[in-house]
């Protein structure tokens, strides 16, 4: 058995739409250690959520994993059948979604939905499941859990609903929790509560967490490793310090320049030019080259490979190759 609880190797996922194949994920790889937190950050359409859904195999009907492996404790789960996957979802790996308003069923009570997950995945009987549900609600800080069990989702606030979602996800003690934009729909003070709760629960229960988000602030103090995605590919990966203090991919650099930060509050923001790429019409080379002001000839026609730029830090950008070449040869290679 490998030391990693989850390994994603060269994952490709496409959606087959009327207007053609949309390659949402183009060769994403990462490894997740037990008990650690991985952050996946990117803009809308970067393939971050689709990566998460591919792991769970909960893609829309048009979506399909077209290549690569997802190894859970060394076993490739993309080859598993429906029944096996049902045992995986919820029990081994759970997901919480962005919008706590729509991801709970409005016509069933909280208790009904929480107990469904418990009854499905464990040997507990109804009485024990109810006890477990109350225990979980207490754990995630929902007050009066017994009363909540009888309530419907619309009777709870957004923050409370997200707590219920977390309780549901963790009820069967999964090894992995995937949080897809867990706090985007919530207010700042409630967001802080939920992030704090997730960290606390991780300490208590020891599950690994994958946080998928577009908010660089959310991942800064949560993650052991961060992956930056653009156009369905990984541009850069490393620790929070690597990514925030020594970004080595032009996209990451641009992203960090375009958000206001406390140290340079009154300075003008430097936006990334252009618009996000159209996944129906992917460029031959680097996905970011059309918006990159440092783009070279090679960027247009060859996809850059991941290159090590530090002990924990990898980036796929030709600029690093160029910098390395210059360092080694003390000059700039002539453009052919």
Partner 1 sequence: MSSNDKNECLVEVKDLKQYFPIKTGFGKTVPLKAVDGVSFSIKPGETLGLVGESGCGKTTVGRSLLQLYKPTGGEVYFKGEKVTDQNIKALRKEMQMVFQDPYSSLNPRMTVEDIIGEPLDVHKLYSTKAERREKILELMELVGLNAEHATRYAHEFSGGQRQRIGIARALAVNPSFIVCDEPVSALDVSIQAQVINMFEDLQEKLGVAYLFIAHDLLVVRHISDRIAVMYLGKIVEIADADELNENPMHPYTESLLSAIPMPDPNLAKTRKRIILEGDVPSPMNLPSGCAFRTRCRYATEQCAKECPSLTDRGNGHFVSCFNK
- Which residue, 131 or 187, has its beta carbon nearer to partner 1? 187
The residue range among 47-55, 67-75, 154-162, 325-333 that interacts with partner 1, by the rule CB under 8 A, is: 154-162
Provide, rounded to whole angstroms, the least separation between the CB of residue 273 and partner 1. Answer: 8
Q: Out of 96, 166, 169, 216, point to the residue binding partner 1 (CB under 8 A).
A: 216
Provide, rounded to whole angstroms, the least separation between the CB of residue 226 and partner 1. Answer: 10
279: nearest Cα among 116, 69, 46:
46
Q: Quick check: 187 binds partner 1 (CB under 8 A)?
A: yes
With a CB cutoff of 8 Å and minimum separation 6, the contacts of 271 are: 258
Q: Out of 157, 302, 312, 324, point to the residue binding partner 1 (CB under 8 A).
A: 157
With a CB cutoff of 8 Å and minimum separation 6, the contacts of 246 are: 238, 309, 310, 313
Rounded to whole angstroms, how far apart are CA atoms 195 and 132? 23
Q: Quick check: 266 binds partner 1 (CB under 8 A)?
A: yes
Q: Quick check: 280 binds partner 1 (CB under 8 A)?
A: no
With a CB cutoff of 8 Å and minimum separation 6, the contacts of 200 are: none
- Which residue, 71 or 256, has its beta carbon nearer to partner 1? 256
Q: Are 306 and 315 in contact (CB under 8 A)?
A: yes
Q: Quick check: 332 binds partner 1 (CB under 8 A)?
A: no
Q: Quick check: 336 binds partner 1 (CB under 8 A)?
A: no
- Which residue, 176 or 197, has its beta carbon nearer to partner 1? 197
Site string for partner 1, 90-119 (x = CB under 8 A): ------------------------------
3-state secondary structure of 2: coil
Site string for partner 1, 43-62 (x = CB under 8 A): xx------------------
- Which residue, 121 or 183, has its beta carbon nearer to partner 1? 183
Name residues contacting partner 1, limited to 229-258 (CB under 8 A).
240-241, 244-245, 254-258
253: nearest Cα among 219, 216, 225:
216
Phi-psi region of 192 (alpha: psi -120 to 50; beta: other; left: phi over 0): alpha
Half-sphere exposure of 128 (CA within 13 A, CB side): 9
Within the chain, what is the greatest distance between any pair of CA atoms?
A: 75
Taking residue 80's Cβ as centre, other Cβ atoms within 10 Å add up to: 16
Q: Out of 215, 224, 295, 306, point to the residue binding partner 1 (CB under 8 A).
A: 215
Provide, rounded to whole angstroms, the least separation between the CB of residue 219 and partner 1. Answer: 8
Q: Quick check: 218 binds partner 1 (CB under 8 A)?
A: yes
Buried b (16+ CB within 10 A) or exposed e, 42-71: beebbbbbbbbbbbbbebeeebebeebbbb
Q: Out of 19, 81, 125, 275, point to the residue binding partner 1 (CB under 8 A).
A: 275
Rounded to whole angstroms, how far apart are CA atoms 112 and 95? 18
**Which residues sit at the interface with partner 1, rule CB under 8 A?**
43-44, 157, 159-160, 187-193, 195-196, 214-218, 220-221, 240-241, 244-245, 254-263, 265-266, 268-273, 275-276
């Amino acid at each position: 058995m490998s030391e990693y609880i989850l390994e994603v190797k060269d994952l490709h996922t496409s959606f087959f739409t009327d207007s053609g194949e949309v390659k949402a994920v183009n060769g994403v790889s990462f490894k997740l250690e037990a008990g650690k937190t991985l952050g996946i950050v990117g803009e809308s359409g970067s393939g971050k959520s689709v990566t998460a859904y591919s792991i769970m195999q909960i893609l829309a009907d048009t979506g399909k994993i077209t290549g690569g492996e997802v190894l859970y404790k060394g076993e490739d789960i993309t080859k598993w059948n429906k029944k096996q996957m049902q045992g995986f979802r919820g029990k081994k790996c759970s997901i919480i979604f962005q919008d706590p308003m729509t991801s709970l069923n409005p016509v069933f009570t909280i208790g009904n939905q929480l107990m469904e997950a418990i009854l499905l995945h464990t040997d507990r009987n109804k009485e024990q499941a109810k006890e477990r549900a109350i225990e979980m609600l207490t754990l995630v800080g929902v007050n009066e859990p017994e009363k909540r069990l009888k309530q419907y989702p619309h009777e709870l606030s957004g923050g409370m609903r997200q707590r219920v979602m977390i309780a549901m996800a963790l009820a069967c003690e999964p090894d992995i929790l995937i949080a897809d934009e867990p706090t985007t729909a919530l207010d700042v003070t409630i967001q802080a509560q939920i992030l704090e709760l997730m960290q606390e629960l991780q300490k208590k229960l020891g599950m690994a967490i994958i946080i998928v988000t577009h908010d660089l602030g959310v991942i800064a103090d949560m993650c052991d490793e961060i992956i930056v995605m653009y156009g369905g590919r990984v541009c850069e990966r490393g620790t929070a310090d690597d990514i925030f203090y020594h970004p080595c991919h032009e996209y990451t650099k641009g992203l960090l320049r375009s958000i206001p930060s406390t140290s340079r509050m009154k300075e003008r923001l430097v936006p990334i030019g252009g618009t996000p790429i159209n996944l129906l019409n992917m460029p031959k080379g680097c996905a970011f080259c059309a918006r990159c002001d440092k783009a070279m000839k090679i960027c247009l026609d060859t996809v850059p490979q991941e290159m090590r730029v530090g002990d924990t830090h990898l980036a796929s950008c030709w600029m690093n190759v160029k910098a390395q070449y210059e360092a080694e040869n003390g000059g700039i290679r002539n453009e052919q």
